[in-house]
Structure 1
Amino acid sequence: MVAAVDGVDLRVERGEMLGYIGPNGAGKSTTLKMLTGVLMPSAGEARVCGLSPVPQRTRLARRIGVVFGQRSQLWWDLPLRDSFDLLRHIYRVPADDHAGRLRRCRSLLDLDEFLDTPVRQLSLGQRMRGELTAALLHGPEVLFLDEPTIGLDVVSKQAVRSFLAELGGRGDTTLVLTTHDLADIERLCRRLVVIDHGRVVHDGSIEALHARYGSRRRVVVDLDDPVSSFAGATVEAEGRRLVFSIDGSAAQVIAGLAGLPGLRDIAIVEPDIEEVVARLYLSPGAP
């Protein structure tokens, strides 16, 4: 028997935006399925909005929204507008409340141009915007997002991220986000939980993750003429470019570069969270 989730102990506060990440098979989707009432945990307890997800699944469904990047809650052959109307009746949402939420989603997600298009004719980006709207029309307290930007182009990803950032910024909807696209986490979540082999290996800020696993900032310097070396911090020479790897403040390095002949540009590059997570998995203490 495989323990898909093993001793995960989390408390997520109202209005929090939580990033929940890990490699394939880590237990992310299993966790979400238990929290949404799809799977019954074999041990322990899960509560969402004060409810037990499986025994009280019908009551819970009215208080949560779910978006799975590779699953749809829309009617394939119906215009998008009709799917939204059907969901209003399924969730028994008052007409005025439904209209107000739909109006807001139409504005923020630019839905109007394809509201009357059958779902099967929508692009992936358009469908995902429809899925987000469908998950929010009944006013959920918690929104679970499983790979919401998977397969989207750059423009569609930006639209989805901007919408979720605006939604989370209001503070009245809790967001739990699982994704392999770490840019989603960096853009949206202050708190990051990393899970591996069903166990939590990090719970804290992205900054704390960087500090814990020794990621470094880089100072990138462009020069007029190529150089082969430079005395100072750890540095890579790439033709007309010097790349410094530093811990902590970049001020000392930048001050030392101020008088460098032929200096064209200096940029500070923050560490990539993907690199940091890779360090976590490769560290001796990782499961």
Structure 2
Amino acid sequence: MNVVEVEGLRKEFKSYSSRSGLAGAFRDLFTRNYQVLRAVNDISLHIKKGEMVGYIGENGAGKSTTIKMLTGILTPTAGRILVNGMNPHKEREKFVRTIGVVFGQRSQLWWDIAVQESFRLLKKVYKVSDDAYEAHMGEVIATLDIGPLLDKPVRKLSLGQRMRCELAAALIHNPPLLFLDEPTIGLDVLVKMKIREFLKEINRKYQTTILLTTHDLADIEALCERVVLLDEGKIIYDGRLDQLQKNWVEGKQIHFEFHHPVERHALIELSGGADVKWRQGERCNEWIAGIEGDEEAVSQLMSRVIQQHPISDVKVNQASTEEIIRNIYEEGLTHG
């Protein structure tokens, strides 16, 4: 069963552009220039019950706009949306009882009251019974380790503490569908790991469907088998993460750190006819070779480079998901 069904979804925003100069300002009083920005451009998306889907893209790609339409915050310009069998905009009150939402840069907790008081208020809003609340939230509070935080005002919590409480608040009514928009932004590694493990657990135990948008691709790798890649409001990839990696990483990456500066053309000459893509690394005198082929091709390239240029370090690894996504945006989705 599809929890999310989207067909031809579009969202356009009209923006005003002012003319330059005093004459232009005077003309703007009578006639204005408008531009139509298409933030989401006729996308179609289907998500099944129990899936954990990563929804990724660059800033301005349309991720948050999509989430806001799926949760009923924004009304689409065109297209059809069905979430949990309902139209998010026409069945608003009934619909919101079936979803949980966490926006990393917005809070649903009351700033000046204790966390547990916010929980109690949300319990009333969602009409959760005392027995259901105690049974479910007791486990959530214990798993997220927020028991010691319940008596503290939200304003006195650290970012990591607040985000764990935000996640718990979104799950008070145990929704079948959870939207997470940058839930780990600014968090340290230990808090991220705790949140990831918790999300895996609720997905396993309750078959909670999760749609996750994030710039931290480690979250995607840890949680999602499926990714949807968005660019300029359009879906350019929708499929398994491992298949995306396979399509784009047929070989390996070799990181060379040289003793002295080396020019790209000199390295290209050492490629020996192999399909090698060279790019400069982040460290001084570091170059990274992306090479397609087997272990023998990798060994031959390393041998040619080392014979010609003294190196201080070399390592071989697979490209990270971050590298893959960056290559897709730089070169376009032409593989697979």
Shorter-chain TM-score bucket reads 0.7 to 0.9
Deviates more, 1:150-159 or 1:28-37: 150-159
- Of residues 198, 205, 225, the one that matches 1:170 is 205
- Check 1:231–1:22 CA distance in 2 against 1; reply closer, same or farther (3 A cut): closer
Cα distance in 2 for residues equivalent to 1:7 and 1:231 = 43
Q: Which structure has the higher relative contact order (CA within 8 Å, separation 6+)?
A: 1
Matches within 5 A, 1:40-189: 40-170=75-205, 172-189=207-224
State yes or no: 1:282 paired with 2:330: yes
Q: Which secondary structure state, in structure 2, belongs to the residue aligned with residue 140 of structure 1? A: coil
Alpha carbons 2:176, 2:209 under 8 Å: kept: yes
Retained in 2: the 8 A contact 1:146–1:178?
yes
- For 2:67, which of 32, 36, 46 is the aligned residue? 32
* CA distance in 1 between partners of 2:95 and 2:172 (Å): 15
Residues 90-128 of structure 1 show CA distances to partners (whole Å, capped at 9, x for unaligned) of 100011111112111122111112111111100000000
Q: Secondary structure at the match of 2:162?
A: helix
Matched residue of 1:46: which SS? strand
User: In angstroms, what is the RMSD of aligned CA positions?
Assistant: 3.1
Structure 1 residues 104 and 271: alpha-carbon distance in aligned structure 2, compared to 1, 3 A threshold? same
| Cα distance between partner residues in 1 of 2:317 and 2:119 | 43
Relative to structure 1, is the Cα distance of residues 116 and 276 closer, same or farther in structure 2, using a 3 angstrom cutoff? same
TM (norm. structure 2) is: 0.72
Paired letter, 2:161: Q
SS in structure 1 at match of 2:37: coil
In the alignment, residue 273 of structure 1 is paired with which amino acid? T
How far apart in 1 are the matches of 2:118 and 2:316?
A: 47
Percent identical pairs in the alignment equals: 46
Instruction: State how far apart, in whole Å, the 2-side matches of 1:102 and 1:216 are.
Output: 47
Per-residue Cα deviation, 1:235-266 (whole angstroms, up to 9, x for no partner): 99x9xxxx885547659969xx9xxxxxxxx9
Cα displacement (A) at 1:284? 4.4
Letter in 2 for 1:89: K
Q: 1:210 to 1:97 in 2, by over 3 A?
A: same
- One-letter amino acid of the counterpart of residue 199, structure 1: K
Structure 2 contact 154–162 (Cα < 8 Å) conserved: yes
What is aligned with 1:224? none
Over 3 Å counting, the alpha-carbon distance change for 1:34 and 1:154 in structure 2 is same
CA distance in 1, matches of 2:61, 2:156: 34
Is this contact kept in 1: 2:43–2:235, CA < 8 A?
yes
The AA in structure 2 aligned to 1:103 is G
What runs of 5+ residues in structure 2 fail to find an aligned partner?
A: 1-35, 257-269, 303-313
| Secondary structure of the structure 2 residue equivalent to 1:6 | strand
Instruction: For 2:224 and 2:151, locate their aligned partners in 1 and report how far apart those are by CA, in whole Å.
Output: 34
| Native 8 Å contact 1:18 1:175 kept in 2 | yes
Which structure has more strand as a fraction of its residues? 2
Q: CA deviation at 1:198?
A: 0.5
Q: 2:320 aligns with which of 268, 272, 279?
A: 272
